[in-house]
């Protein structure tokens, strides 16, 4: 059930004794005397289109499997009917038992539009974000205990105060996570870079310094992509879209052209880099082993891959340089989403072109001579590919065929077949489509299922488990 106006939804809640909500949101822009008063005076922001936070339907029964595969896939998944509880699905990725459902772990809410998923470095916790949790006034971050990897349990959920719309997640070496929250507490701009402690409590929403706040108020700050070089002490975030602008009655999504370079130790923004007319810089990832700590960024409107040199300086002496690396061609332009992953040797990069129904592969071993490994005109067996991960053994791509569907309240409803594709990486870095898991068929009793993201555990070597 959707309410056309926030006021209608809130009045309905007030008249419903069975629903209890406690919501306390701080000002969108923190008060800094002498700095932010001109920005807050007369500021009137629309609330998002809220949905009634009705209790979710209980998960239908399932039969757990007692197999103990060496390779495990975890999929952060929405129930297809948007009414049953959202859940984490645990599957075998071993050759002999591939696609066997091992376990289903529910969260206590529905309609979150499960988004990205990432593990802690010790493999004991998974964190999944809810893209649209805000619309039901629900927590936005969901934590799962994977101490027993074959029986994950729901640990807790929470939300940030100044920000919402969880996107990319990166584990901290000392425990906890960094998380990009693309929107403010109301789903507008600016978002924040959120940090948790080792107990997964939100402890900061960066930036917190005057200069950083002026930076994100001066230019659209909608952080989606997140990559961290813990050795070189730098962070890169990429700005994608103002979340509220993808919902009606917005005339069109408000997309950004910028990336931010941060100092890791102080959590402050060093500089802002612009990709002209990029209109949505969805993803950024450091190239493993690159001596300059170069990173790849995806410009969605342009259908291009750019390279970011964080320690180079431009003609004006500003740190951070962005240069075009490779144009993915006309079929990649305005594909709504281009997400990426790279092999750990830094040789190959893969890009999902969501509304082009295509996965591109590049040989980036020589950055001065990038080679395309896929045929851009090939008809691939994928509909709506988005989230992509190279498996820890570097032998496969795990791709989920679902991006975002906001239904009648929104502007983004990308076609999808809701499958998880397990694609072989050949010796030359090219791809061979092989196996898949059909989520709608697996979860017919809850209106199907929409897996957005994945994490892979590789327990082949018990002394050296891999979590990614």
The 10s digit of each residue's pLDDT in 172-213 is 999 999 999 999 999 999 999 999 999 999 999 999 999 999
Lowest average pLDDT, out of 45-54, 264-273, 276-285, goes to: 45-54
What confidence category does residue 398 fall into, taking pLDDT thresholds of 50, 70 and 90? very high
Contact call for residues 174 and 197 (beta carbons, < 8 A) = no
What per-residue string of b and e applies to 325-349 under the rule 16 or more CB within 10 Å gives b?
Answer: bbebbeebbebbbbbbbbbeebbbb
pLDDT at 51: 74
Torsion of CA 163, 167, 171, 174, to 10 degrees: 0
pLDDT band with cut points at 50, 70 and 90 for residue 49: low
Indicate the helix (H) or strand (E) that contains 183. strand 177-184
Is residue 157 within 8 Å of 139, Cβ to Cβ?
yes
Looking at the chain, the whole-number percentage of residues with pLDDT higher than 70 is 90
Find the largest Cα–Cα distance for the chain.
Answer: 66
The whole-chain average pLDDT of the chain stands at 90
Buried b / exposed e over 131-152, threshold 16 CB at 10 Å, is bbbbbbbbbbbbbbebeebbeb
Measured distance CA(465)–CA(456) in Å, rounded: 11
Beta bridge partners of residue 340, listed in sequence order? 351
CB 143 within 8 A of CB 125: yes
**Is the pLDDT score of 15 beyond 60?**
no
Please report the pLDDT score of residue 50 as a whole number.
Answer: 73
DSSP string, 311-363: EEE-TTS-EEEEEEEEE--GGGTT-S-EEEEE-TTS-EEEEEEGGGTEEEEEE
What pLDDT is recorded for position 53?
72
The token duo for 376 is: 């851009």
Contact criterion met (CB below 8 Å) for 449 and 78 = yes
DSSP summary character for residue 435: E
pLDDT greater than 50 at residue 12:
no
Beta strands at 396-400 and 419-425: parallel, antiparallel or unpaired: antiparallel
Q: For residue 216, is pLDDT > 70?
A: yes
CATH of domain 55-467: 2.130.10.10
**Residue 3 in this model has a pLDDT that exceeds 50:** no
Q: What is the DSSP letter of 424?
A: E
The tens digit of pLDDT for each residue in 122-175 reads 999 999 999 999 999 999 999 999 999 999 999 999 999 999 999 999 999 999
pLDDT of the residue at 9: 34
What is the mean predicted confidence (pLDDT) over 415-425? Answer: 98
**Could you tell me the end-to-end alpha-carbon distance of the chain, in angstroms, rounded to an integer?**
37
- Report the pLDDT value the prediction gives residue 33, as an integer from 0 to 100: 46
Residue 339 to residue 354: CA distance in whole angstroms: 8
Q: Residue ranges of the domains in the chain?
A: 55-467
| C-beta of residue 303 within 8 angstroms of C-beta of residue 338 | yes
Kindly report the pTM of this predicted structure: 0.90
Please say if the pLDDT value at position 381 is more than 90. Answer: yes
Residue 1, pLDDT above cutoff 60: no
13-17, 56-60, 97-101, 428-432: segment of lowest average pLDDT: 13-17
Give the pLDDT score at 37: 38
Q: Which of 254, 68, 169 is nearest to 455 (CA)?
A: 169
Residue 79: pLDDT band with limits 50, 70, 90: very high
Structure confidence at residue 54 (pLDDT) = 78
Residue 325 reports pLDDT greater than 60:
yes
Rounded to whole angstroms, how far apart are CA atoms 335 and 28? 31
Alpha-carbon distance of 290 to 236, in angstroms, equals 15
Task: Give residue for tokens 């599957």.
Answer: 91
| Burial (0-12, 13-18, 19+ Cβ within 10 Å), 90 | buried
């Amino acid at each position: 059930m959707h309410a056309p106006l926030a006021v209608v939804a809130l009045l309905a809640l007030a008249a419903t004794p069975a629903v209890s909500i406690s919501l306390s949101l701080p000002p969108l822009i923190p008060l800094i005397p002498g700095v932010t008063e001109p920005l807050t005076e007369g500021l009137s922001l629309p609330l998002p289109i809220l949905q009634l936070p009705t209790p979710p339907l209980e998960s239908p029964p399932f039969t757990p499997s007692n197999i103990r595969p060496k390779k495990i896939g975890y999929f952060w998944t929405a129930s297809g009917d948007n009414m049953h509880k959202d859940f984490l699905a645990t599957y075998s990725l071993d050759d002999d038992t591939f696609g066997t459902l091992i376990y289903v772990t529910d969260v206590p809410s529905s309609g979150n539009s499960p988004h990205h998923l990432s593990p802690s470095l010790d493999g004991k916790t998974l964190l999944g974000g809810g893209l649209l949790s805000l619309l039901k006034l629900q927590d936005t971050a969901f934590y799962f205990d994977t101490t027993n990897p074959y029986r994950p349990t729901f640990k807790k959920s929470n939300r940030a105060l100044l920000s919402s719309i969880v996107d990319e997640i990166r584990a901290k070496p000392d425990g906890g996570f960094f998380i990009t929250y693309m929107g403010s507490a109301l789903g507008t701009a600016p978002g924040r870079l959120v940090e948790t402690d080792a107990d997964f409590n939100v402890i900061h929403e960066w930036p917190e310094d005057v200069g950083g706040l002026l930076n994100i108020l001066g230019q659209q700050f909608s952080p989606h992509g997140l990559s961290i070089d813990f050795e070189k002490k730098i962070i890169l975030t990429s700005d994608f879209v103002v979340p509220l602008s993808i919902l009606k009655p917005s005339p069109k999504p408000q997309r950004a052209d910028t990336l931010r370079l941060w100092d890791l130790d102080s959590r402050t923004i060093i500089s802002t880099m612009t990709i002209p007319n990029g209109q949505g810089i969805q993803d950024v990832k450091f190239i493993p082993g690159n001596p300059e700590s170069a990173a790849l960024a995806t410009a969605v409107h342009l259908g291009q891959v750019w390279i970011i040199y964080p320690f180079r300086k431009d003609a004006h002496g500003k740190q951070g340089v962005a240069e075009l690396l490779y144009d993915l061609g006309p079929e990649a332009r305005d594909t709504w989403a281009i997400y990426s992953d790279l092999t750990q040797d830094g040789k190959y990069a893969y890009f999902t072109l969501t509304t082009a129904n295509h996965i591109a592969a590049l040989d980036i071993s020589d950055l001065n001579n990038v080679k395309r490994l896929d045929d851009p005109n090939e008809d691939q067996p994928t509909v709506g590919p988005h989230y992509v991960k190279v498996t820890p053994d570097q032998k496969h791509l795990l791709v989920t065929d679902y991006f975002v569907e906001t239904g009648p309240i929104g502007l983004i409803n990308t076609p999808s077949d809701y499958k998880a594709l397990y694609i072989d990486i050949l010796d030359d870095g090219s791809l061979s489509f092989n196996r898949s898991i059909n989520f709608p068929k697996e979860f017919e009793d809850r209106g199907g299922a929409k897996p957005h993201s994945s994490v892979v555990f590789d327990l082949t070597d018990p002394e050296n488990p891999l979590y990614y």
